[in-house]
Structure 1
Amino acid sequence: LERSRVVHITDPERNYHCFYQLCASKEDCEKYKLEHPRLFHYLNQSKTYQLQGVSNKEEYVKTRRAMTIVGISQDEQEAIFRTLAAILHLGNVEFSPGKEYDSSQIKDQKSSFHLQMAADLLMCDVNLLLSSLCTRSIQTREGTIIKALDCNAAVASRDALAKTVYSRLFDWL
């Protein structure tokens, strides 16, 4: 599995097909608040959203059918696609400099929306998710030190989380 492909692609490559297929499912787009792939950072680094002669929507239906055939339950399928949607939302979380030196915070309302969606889809607390992206915990003999991360480090943290979640999902499958 090429983990870096989850967060970084170049033209004319595409990210993993499952992301485009998910964005082609009208039902899942409504459920997971997804839009066209060009609106997701992890997909819009390349302008190749559709493969010639291939329908993402039809491939999505085939993928779901194949998952059922191999014994993946509907609940498990929902968890898989919910996790993929969370990764897309996570990639749209942007940061701006925080109030303290070398710190970061959520950039704007749009980023707050995507952070909240990622937290909801991953079923975790939004404040804990934000803290995990904007700070690093360092264990010492005296206790835990919380270090603020600047914007670049917060982006790196976001991307590392996205790659890890995708990798763990892939390993589970």
Structure 2
Amino acid sequence: MIFQAEGERNFHIFYQLTNGMSKEDKDKYHLREAEYYNYINKSGCYTVQNLDEAKELHEFREALALFDISGELEHQMFRILASVLHLGNITFKDEGEGCVLDGPDAEHELNVTAELLGLKPEDLMFAVSKKEIKMRS
């Protein structure tokens, strides 16, 4: 999920969201171009010749509708998918016994991810940065 070989792409839905959504929908999920997201920008392959991502996304939505997945449920699914992309852009560095956000966009990405998941940013930060050691007896 987090690395693709040169010329390979990640899950198609991520490119459909970043390349095929309307501006209005992209704004709703705080989405940008595919090149921005760490989980899908490593291979350098953002588009496929003769592949219409908007058409593919439309067909995906039609397929969801066949299973009565539309409206609010579709919105929730897209929020989760978008949050995965944003989560991959949250970077950390070690500090003391824990870690802190690192990089110019890390706090923004944390806030966006939290919003998309319906969480408080501090709760998400705790969840993704807590170190836990379990000892078996």
Taking structure 1 as the reference length, the TM-score comes to: 0.71
Q: How does 1:59-98 map to 2 (within 5 A)?
A: 59-98=56-95
- Give the aligned partner of residue 129 of structure 1: 124
CA–CA distance in structure 2, aligned partners of residues 81 and 51 of structure 1: 22
1:27 equivalent in alignment to 2:55: no
- Runs of 4 or more above 2 Å deviation: 136-140
Match of 1:46 in 2: 43
The structure richer in strand per residue is 1
* CA RMSD in angstroms, aligned pairs only: 1.6
The structure with the greater share of residues assigned to helix is 1
Paired with 2:38 and 2:52, the residues of 1 have a C-alpha distance of: 22
SS of the residue 1:71 aligns to = coil
Deviation at 1:97, TM superposition (A): 3.1
Identity of aligned residues (%): 30
Alignment of 1:103-118 (within 5 A): 103-118=98-113
How far apart in 1 are the matches of 2:67 and 2:129?
40
Could you list the per-position Cα deviations for residues 23-51 of structure 1 after superposition, in whole angstroms to 9, with x for gaps in the alignment? 12122211111111000000101111111
The unaligned stretches of length 5 or more in structure 2 are none
Letter aligned with residue 118 of structure 1: T
Q: CA deviation at 1:95?
A: 1.2
Report the secondary structure of 2:79's partner residue: helix
For residue 125 of structure 1, report the CA deviation from its aligned partner. 1.8
Tell me which amino acid in the other structure corresponds to 1:122.
Answer: L
Structure 1 residue 138: deviation in Å? 4.5
Q: Deviations over 1:118-154 (max 9, x none)?
A: 11111112111111222224468xxxxxxxxxxxxxx
SS at match of 2:127: helix
Paired positions, count = 133
Q: SS of the counterpart of 1:105?
A: strand
CA distance in 1, matches of 2:30, 2:99: 26
Question: Which of 1, 9, 14 in structure 1 is aligned with 2:4?
Answer: 9
Q: Secondary structure at the match of 2:42?
A: coil
